[in-house]
Amino acid sequence: MAYAAKLRAASHRVFCLLSDGECDEGSTWEAALFAAHHGLSNLIAIVDYNRIQGIAPVSQVLELEPFAQKWTAFGWSVSEVDGHDHEALRTTLGAIPFAPGKPSCLIAHTVKGKGVSFMENTVLWHYRIPRGAEFEAALAELEDRT
């Protein structure tokens, strides 16, 4: 979509949301190379970097570090931000493109299950949905934070 927009000299941007786990895949990096090669400054990848995949922490499944440097090496301009800080996200997204002629990658550092003590950084809650008493407990913790 971003390439087609560039060919048509369209002014819109294309946003792609990625999980950190998707960055284990060769097709992701092939697309990243394609975007940089074609100077798709209208393409923005936002990576939810919570460091947990479906079965284990990212570091145990397939280490991604040095993560930001990999995106840079693939020809992207990169910015890292606290993914829970809405003002920082707004400011960073407002600075796109981060560099002329390059696609932009925003790495949003997040905590899986943030705000709920029994869910935070727990692999189990990467794919599980709270129900019943768990749901009520989670909701109560989140309401206490507001």
The number of folded domains in the chain is 2
User: Does residue 99 share a domain with residue 66?
Assistant: yes
Range of the domain at 138: 116-146
User: Does residue 85 share a domain with residue 27?
Assistant: yes
The phi, psi pair for 49, rounded to 5°, reads -100, 80
Read off the pLDDT of residues 11-67 as tens digits, 9 standing for 90 and up: 999 999 999 999 999 999 999 999 999 999 999 999 999 999 888 999 999 999 999
User: Does residue 106 share a domain with residue 120?
Assistant: no
As a whole number of angstroms, the distance between CA 8 and CA 66 comes to: 35
Q: What is the pLDDT of residue 127?
A: 83
Q: How confident is the model at residue 144 (pLDDT cuts 50, 70, 90)?
A: confident
Q: Is the dihedral of CA 77, 83, 88, 89 positive or negative?
A: positive
Q: What is the pLDDT of residue 93?
A: 96
Q: How confident is the model at residue 126 (pLDDT cuts 50, 70, 90)?
A: confident
User: Does residue 98 share a domain with residue 32?
Assistant: yes
User: Does residue 74 share a domain with residue 6?
Assistant: yes
pTM of the model: 0.92
Mean pLDDT of 101-128: 94
Is the predicted pLDDT of residue 106 greater than 70, yes or no? yes
User: Does residue 76 share a domain with residue 22?
Assistant: yes
User: Does residue 121 share a domain with residue 63?
Assistant: no
Read off the pLDDT of residues 79-102 as tens digits, 9 standing for 90 and up: 999 999 999 999 999 999 999 999
**Residues found in the chain:** 146
CATH number at residue 88: 3.40.50.970
User: Does residue 23 share a domain with residue 49?
Assistant: yes
Percentage of the chain beyond pLDDT 90 is 92
User: Does residue 102 share a domain with residue 124?
Assistant: no
As a whole number of angstroms, the distance between CA 42 and CA 101 comes to: 9
Is the predicted pLDDT of residue 7 greater than 70, yes or no? yes
User: Does residue 82 share a domain with residue 42?
Assistant: yes
User: Does residue 22 share a domain with residue 85?
Assistant: yes
Q: How confident is the model at residue 146 (pLDDT cuts 50, 70, 90)?
A: low
User: Does residue 94 share a domain with residue 30?
Assistant: yes
